[in-house]
Amino acid sequence: MPTTRVEVKENILSANDLIAQKNRQALDQAGVFSINLMASPGAGKTSLIEHTVRLLQPEFRLAVIDGDIATTIDADRAAAAGAKAVQINTGGDCHLDAVMVSSALASLDLTEFDFLIIENVGNLVCPASFKLGVHKNVLIASVPEGDDKPYKYPGMYQGVDALVLNKMDLLPYIPFRSQYFWHGVEVLNPGVQSFEISCASGSGLDAWLDWIRQHILACRHA
């Protein structure tokens, strides 16, 4: 049978992107600033969330959506720190997608919140491909992971709006070439907003919190 070629030229995950746009509309409508926190397992996503929630909770109303393969450990920690926490168990999936976030958003009354943190599944590959519809995509790297991570995971490092380098307190004990690390970051994502912090000592958290505050106030309805 003869065949004909039909042009498509459509992004493979365009269906996900469409739902992501709807998530964004819902967040904008409610005036909620939202971030998607991505990192490898153990980089400090949950620790940073705990600090952020504890320190911002007197000023703002916070919600956390926690993506995890099976447990509720992370959501429990976020709730204990003072946020409304919603757990998404991905059932083995290595990333959150816009549909999972959409149903988690539906379980929250967004008008009750100023700031939403979405904690993605610990993974430096898959979450980079799936837009969720948040305002800022944030990557947490950490000193013990090594200075070569930008070079090994260019997809993740290219796509984020902010980069947090955690566990700076370990710098004296670990061979980590800061210049090499930041050069890779700069090539992949020129001028990206960045923070050097330590969740253990609390250093650098002020700058991070100021950045969040500034965006919450900009998103919040007057």
Residues lying near another protein in the complex (CB under 8 A) are found at 1-16, 93-95, 97, 123, 125-126, 128-130, 148, 151-152, 154-155, 158, 183-184, 186-188
DSSP string for 157-214? HHS-SEEEEE-GGGGGGS---HHHHHHHHHHHSTT-EEEE--TTT-TTHHHHHHHHHH
Contact 36, 137 (CB under 8 A): yes
Beta carbon nearer to another protein, 109 or 186? 186
Q: Give me the least distance between CB of 152 and another protein, in Å please.
A: 6
SS3 state at 139: strand
Q: Give me the least distance between CB of 184 and another protein, in Å please.
A: 6
Q: Give me the least distance between CB of 150 and another protein, in Å please.
A: 8
Beta carbon nearer to another protein, 5 or 221? 5
Beta carbon nearer to another protein, 2 or 58? 2
CA distance 88 to 90: 6
Which residues have CB under 8 Å from 218's CB, separation 6+? Answer: 33
Beta carbon nearer to another protein, 144 or 154? 154
Q: Give me the least distance between CB of 16 and another protein, in Å please.
A: 7
Which residues have CB under 8 Å from 54's CB, separation 6+? Answer: 81, 82
